[in-house]
Amino acid sequence: MKKQTFAMLAGLAILIYTAALIAIAGSVAPRLALVFSPLGKIFWIFIIFFSVYLWVSFILTILFAYTNLPLFLYLPFKTIFYLVPSAMLLGKILGVKRESFEKSYIDISNRINKKRIAKQKPKKVLLLLPHCLQAADCPWKITFDIENCKGCGKCSIAKFVEISHRYNIPTFVATGGTIARRIVKKTRPEMIVAVACERDLFSGIIDVHPMPIIGVLNRRPFGPCYNTEVDVEEIISILDTVIPHPDNDKGRESIHG
């Protein structure tokens, strides 16, 4: 049920918008008709068209995310994107945990972007990692230059250095949203694979929209922002679908070896 949190809140937001628009039309249309008779009907037609557009966009977005509908039906997702603030506000009013909302939105965004990417491969891919993946007691600074990693094996950074070489993609470690945005602006990728917590991934997806971003949640066995972990295999699987290579299986063995 948690995965559908955003969908339910977005649907509720559209329902509220629809009711408000009908109420406005019922009040305004008769006054417009007094000025010029056809204006009242035109206003009603506009309200009905806009309401139907919102509902169709919402339904197609959900169907595209969870079924095998063709790619062109991705387009309505751009409309649903603008419902995020309203859905988030409703979630807050209804007592929905922010983390659940963010995780739900990340899930539906990932589903849609994976289908977009499968259809049209991006040429420039950026791998963006959080600094908390690095061992907390490591003295080597890897922000902006992951090659400074000495490969001691205490954290997963060394594996990401191998992944960066393997797939020939720029890989950066960011200490926060400001630096992450600076990196994105500098590298100008067509797609981002990002590792972070729910809040940072959610804000990142919003910031780079409509650029496709696949977000992978980190694990926090010691609490937030401290010696976090991530499923390296999941990152490799994502990159395998984006950057096909005849020796991917061999490369996977070398990274895990």
User: What pLDDT is stored for residue 253 in this prediction?
Assistant: 52
Say if strands 213-217 and 171-174 run parallel, antiparallel, or are unpaired: unpaired
Residues 76 and 27 grouped into a single domain: yes
Q: What is the pLDDT of residue 36?
A: 85
Task: Supply the CATH number for residue 246's domain.
Answer: 3.40.50
Last residue of a domain, one of 71, 90, 109: 90
Same domain, 234 and 179: yes
Spatial separation of the C-alpha atoms in residues 180 and 187, rounded to whole Å: 11
| Inter-residue contact 104 to 6 (CB < 8 Å) | yes
Domain boundary among 43, 70, 90: 90
Distance CA 179, CA 174 (A): 6
The predicted model gives 38-61 an average pLDDT of: 90
Does the pLDDT value for residue 138 go beyond 80? yes
Specify whether the CB–CB gap between 206 and 105 falls below 8 A: no
In this structure, the answer to whether residues 130 and 219 fall within a common structural domain is yes
Please give the residue range of the domain that contains residue 218: 121-256
Q: How many CA atoms lie within 13 A of 135 on its CB side?
A: 13
**21 and 134 inside one domain:** no
Per-residue tokens: 146 = 């992951």
Degrees, nearest 5: CA angle 211-213-63: 90
- The model's pTM is 0.86
Q: Is the pLDDT of residue 257 over 60?
A: no
Statement: residue 211 has pLDDT above 60:
yes
Tell whether the model's pLDDT for residue 220 goes beyond 80.
Answer: yes
| 22 inside domain | yes
Crossing angle for the helix pair 98-119 and 198-208, to the nearest 10 degrees:
50
Note every long-range contact of 34-37, with CB atoms under 8 Å and residues 24 or more positions apart, other chains counting: none
Amino acid at 190: E
Q: How confident is the model at residue 249 (pLDDT cuts 50, 70, 90)?
A: low
Residue 28 in domain: yes
149 with 77, same domain?
Answer: no
Residue 103 is assigned to a structural domain of this protein: no
* Backbone conformation region of residue 250, classed left if phi is above 0, alpha if psi is from -120 to 50, else beta: alpha
Write the Ramachandran bin of 223: left for phi over 0, alpha for psi from -120 to 50, otherwise beta.
left
Helix (H), strand (E) at residue 239 = helix 232-242
Q: Has residue 104 been placed in a domain?
A: no
* 225 SS3 class: coil
Residues 125 and 251 placed together within one structural domain of the fold: yes
The structure tokens listed for 233 are: 């295999």
Q: Are residues 47 and 145 in the same domain?
A: no
Please choose, from the candidates 73, 37, 47, the residue with its C-alpha nearest in 3D space to the C-alpha of residue 58. Answer: 73
Residue 48 and residue 134 in one domain: no
Residue 210: is the preceding peptide bond cis (ω within 30°)? yes
On whether residue 129 sits in a domain, the answer given is yes
pLDDT at 99: 93
Residue 104 CA to residue 96 CA, distance in Å, equals 11
Q: Which domain-ending residue is among 74, 90, 106?
A: 90
Q: Are residues 54 and 128 in the same domain?
A: no
CB atoms within 10 A of CB 148: 14
For the chain, percent of residues with pLDDT exceeding 90: 61
Q: Is the pLDDT at 246 greater than 60, yes or no?
A: no
Mean pLDDT computed over every residue of the chain: 87
Q: Within this chain, do residues 176 and 235 fall inside the same structural domain, yes or no?
A: yes
Residues linked to residue 129 through DSSP beta bridges, in sequence order: 173
Question: Domains in the chain: how many in total?
Answer: 2
Asked if 211 and 153 sit in the same domain, the reply is yes
Structure tokens at 228: 């976090």
Structural domain includes residue 73: yes
